[in-house]
Amino acid sequence: MLDSATYNTMTNNRPLRVLILARVSHDSSGVGRSVNEQVDAGKEWVKREGWELKKVIRETGSASRYSTRRQRAEWNEALAWIESGEIDALLTWENSRATRDLSGYTELRQACAKNKVKWGYGGTLYDLTQRSDRFRTGLDALLAEDEADRTSERVKRAHSANARAGRPHGKAIFGYRRIYDSQTKALLRVELDPAEAALIREAAQRYLDGETLYSIAQDWNDRGIPARRPQRKHHRGGWAWRGETLKQMLEMPAYAGLRQYRGEIIGEAMWDAIIQPEAWHKLQALLHAPERKRADVWKIRYLLTGVARCGYDGCVGNVRVSRNSSKTAAGLTHYQNYICEYGPHCSMNMKFLDAIVTEHILERMSRPDFLESLHHVEDDQSDQRRDLMRTIAEHRAWLDSVRERAAQERNLELLFDQERRVKPLIDEATKKLNRLSTVSPHVTTLAQAPDVREAWEGLAITSKREIVRSLLEVQMFPAPRRGAKGIGQAIERTKITWKHTL
C-alpha cells in the first residue's frame, strides 16, 4: 500500500493520472444518484491528493459471474484505459464496484500489474505487483463474490417460494391486472381484465375452430386492438399483433390458471383461469402438432411431401418430389414421382399416390356415420386428457403435503426422496398429455360440408395436407419387380393406416 507522497517520488513528482470507475447494479429511478455519489467521492480524493483526473466511467449493471464481458461495455472500456498507458491509477468506491467475480478480479489484477497501474478504493492505493497488496485485494474480491452468490441464492429461494405459492413474477400478463396495497405496495391479488381476457378467449376459440394465428392477428390489427406492450421493433411495419405473438401467448400456462417455474408447471396460480385447463391442453396439442409447424406456405405445392413415408425396410425417411421425363410416340413426356428423401428405395407416380390417399379420405368422410365416429374420438380424448390432468394434480398435491411435513420435521431427505420418486411420474404423465393427438378442426369443417368431395376441391393445399396428417399414416413400398406400372400396382404398394378408429 502506498501514500501519495511515496508514489509521487516514484513517478518523478509527476501528478498521478487517474481513471474513476463508478458502478451500481440497478438504477430503477434513472437518476443514478449512487453512481454520482461514487464519482463525487472519487473526485474529492483526486483533488485532495493533487492528482490529475483523466476519465470518469459510469456503469449501471451487474458485476457478478452472472454478467458477461459483452454486457459490461464500461468494464471493457476501463480495461482498455489500463492497457493504454495513459493512466497511473484506477479508483473505485470499494472493491466490489469493480467486480464481484474472481475471474474478473484476476483479469484486473493482471492488467494493472502488467501496466504498473495502481488500484485505489476505500481511501487506500494498492500496488498489485506487491504480494501483500494482491493478498488484500484478492481477499476483498473473494468476499465480494461470496456476497454476490449469497444474494443470488436468496433471490432464487424467494422466486421458488413465490412460484410454489402461485404468486406472479416479472411483467404483468396481458389479460390480467395486479392490485397492490396503496400504502405498503404489497401485491394483494391478480384479477382478470375483462376486455383483454375476452380477447384471449376469442383467440383460443378461433384457433380451436380452425383459423390460423396469422388471420386472427390480421383481424385484430384491422380492428385497431392495441398491442399488449409498446412496440420497439420498427421493422414490424406498425403491426400491433403477429401470429408468433399470439402463439407465444396461447402457450402460456398462466392462462389456464397454472404457475410455471423454470419451464415446469408446478401447481395452480393465485389467479383465475381465462382458458379452462382442459381446453388449454387441447390448444397445446394443436399448437405443437406436426401439421401445424411453421412452413414457407408459398412454397408448398404437393399433397404428400414430408407427409408420406418410405416403407423400405429400416428407412425412416419421408417422401419428396422428383421430376422425370420419358420418350413416347407423341414426344417427350414430363411427369413427377414421389421418392424417398434418403435414396432410391422406392418411387411412385405422384398422381397415383395423391389419388389413392384422397379417395381413402373422401370415401370414409362421405359416410353418414363419420361425424358421429369423430365425436366419439374427441370424447375419448377428452376423457384421457381429464384422467392425465387429474393424475398430475394428485402427484403435485402429494409433493406439496410432503414439503409441509418436511418443513415441520426439518427433514429435507424426506422431501428429496419423494421428489426423486414422484417427479418422473409427473413428467411421464405430462409427456402423454402433450402427445395426445387432437383431430384438426379442418376435418370437422370438411365433414360438415353438404358435398364433401366438392368442398375438398375448394380447399387450399395446406388445409388438405393438415387433414391427411391429422387422419392418416401413409407409407409407399418398393415395386416388387422392374417395370411395374399403373394405379393397380400403386395401390398394392401403398399402406394407409387410420390414426383414429373412424
pLDDT tens per residue across span 394-449: 888 888 888 888 878 888 788 788 888 888 888 888 777 766 656 777 888 888 88
The C-alpha atoms of residue 72 and residue 63 are separated, in whole angstroms, by 8
The C-alpha atoms of residue 174 and residue 200 are separated, in whole angstroms, by 8
The grid coordinates of residue 52 equal 490529475
State the fold for domain 195-229+239-288. Answer: Hect, E3 ligase catalytic domain fold (3.90.1750)
* Of the ranges 13-22, 339-348, 400-409, the best mean pLDDT one: 13-22
| Domain boundaries, given as residue ranges, for the chain | 4-155, 195-229+239-288, 293-502
pLDDT category of residue 43 using cuts at 50, 70 and 90: very high
Number of C-beta neighbours around residue 161 at 10 A: 10
| pTM of structure | 0.50
The C-alpha atoms of residue 352 and residue 93 are separated, in whole angstroms, by 79
Among 35, 161, 159, 167, residue whose Cα is nearest residue 92: 35
pLDDT category of residue 327 using cuts at 50, 70 and 90: low
Residue 165 pLDDT > 90, yes or no?
Answer: no
pLDDT at 301: 85
pLDDT at 296: 45
pLDDT category of residue 126 using cuts at 50, 70 and 90: very high
pLDDT at 454: 93
In contact, 111 and 128? CB cutoff 8 Å: no
Among 249, 247, 248, 272, residue whose Cα is nearest residue 259: 272
> Are domains 4-155 and 195-229+239-288 of this chain identical in fold?
no
| Block residue for cell numbers 449512487 | 34
pLDDT, tens digit (0-9, with 9 covering 90-100), for 174-215: 999 999 988 888 889 999 999 999 999 999 998 888 788 888
Mean pLDDT score, 295-320: 78
The C-alpha atoms of residue 311 and residue 332 are separated, in whole angstroms, by 31
pLDDT at 63: 54
Calculate the CA 110 to chain-centre distance. 39
How many residues does this entry show for the chain? Answer: 502
The C-alpha atoms of residue 50 and residue 387 are separated, in whole angstroms, by 78
Residue 44 pLDDT > 90, yes or no?
Answer: yes
**Residues pairing with 192 in the sheet:** 176
Among the ranges given (223-232, 289-298, 384-393), the one the predictor scored with the smallest mean pLDDT: 289-298
pLDDT at 120: 95
Check residues 175 and 372 and name the one with the higher pLDDT: 175
The C-alpha atoms of residue 171 and residue 458 are separated, in whole angstroms, by 44
The C-alpha atoms of residue 111 and residue 140 are separated, in whole angstroms, by 18
Among 292, 306, 279, 280, residue whose Cα is nearest residue 213: 292
Question: Domain 4-155 in CATH: superfamily?
Answer: Resolvase, N-terminal catalytic domain (3.40.50.1390)
pLDDT at 284: 87
Number of C-beta neighbours around residue 327 at 10 A: 8
Among the ranges given (1-15, 198-212, 253-267, 389-403), the one the predictor scored with the smallest mean pLDDT: 1-15
DSSP state letters, 224-271: TPPPSS----GGGTT-S--HHHHHHHHT-GGGGTEEEETTEEEEE-SS
The C-alpha atoms of residue 441 and residue 210 are separated, in whole angstroms, by 5
pLDDT at 390: 84
pLDDT at 178: 92
Q: What are the backbone dihedrals phi and psi of residue 161, each rounded to the nearest 5 degrees, phi first?
A: -65, -45
Q: What are the backbone dihedrals phi and psi of residue 468, each rounded to the nearest 5 degrees, phi first?
A: -60, -50
The C-alpha atoms of residue 255 and residue 173 are separated, in whole angstroms, by 9
362-370 long-range contacts, Cβ below 8 Å, gap at least 24?
A: 362/452, 362/453, 362/456, 364/502, 365/443, 365/446, 365/447, 365/452, 366/452, 366/453, 370/447, 370/502
The C-alpha atoms of residue 1 and residue 341 are separated, in whole angstroms, by 72
In angstroms and rounded to an integer, the radius of gyration of the C-alpha atoms of the chain is: 34
pLDDT category of residue 31 using cuts at 50, 70 and 90: very low
The C-alpha atoms of residue 18 and residue 320 are separated, in whole angstroms, by 68
Among the ranges given (194-198, 210-214, 303-307, 354-358), the one the predictor scored with the smallest mean pLDDT: 210-214
**Residues pairing with 268 in the sheet:** 258
In contact, 355 and 468? CB cutoff 8 Å: no
DSSP state letters, 22-91: EEES--TTSS-HHHHHHHHHHHHHHHHHT-EEEEEEEEES--STTS-TTT-HHHHHHHHHHHHT--SEEE
Mean pLDDT score, 75-92: 93
Q: Roughly how many angstroms between the first and final C-alpha of the chain, as a whole number? A: 86
Mean pLDDT score, 223-246: 74
pLDDT category of residue 387 using cuts at 50, 70 and 90: confident
The C-alpha atoms of residue 387 and residue 385 are separated, in whole angstroms, by 5
Residue 297 pLDDT > 80, yes or no?
Answer: no
Among 288, 279, 228, 285, residue whose Cα is nearest residue 258: 279
Tell me what the pLDDT averaged over the chain comes to. Answer: 83
Calculate the CA 255 to chain-centre distance. 17
Calculate the CA 258 to chain-centre distance. 17
Half-sphere exposure at residue 122, Cβ-oriented, CA atoms within 13 angstroms = 10
Half-sphere exposure at residue 94, Cβ-oriented, CA atoms within 13 angstroms = 11
Going from the C-alpha of 185 to that of each of 180, 326, 355, the distances in angstroms are 5, 79, 67
Residue 27 pLDDT > 70, yes or no?
Answer: no
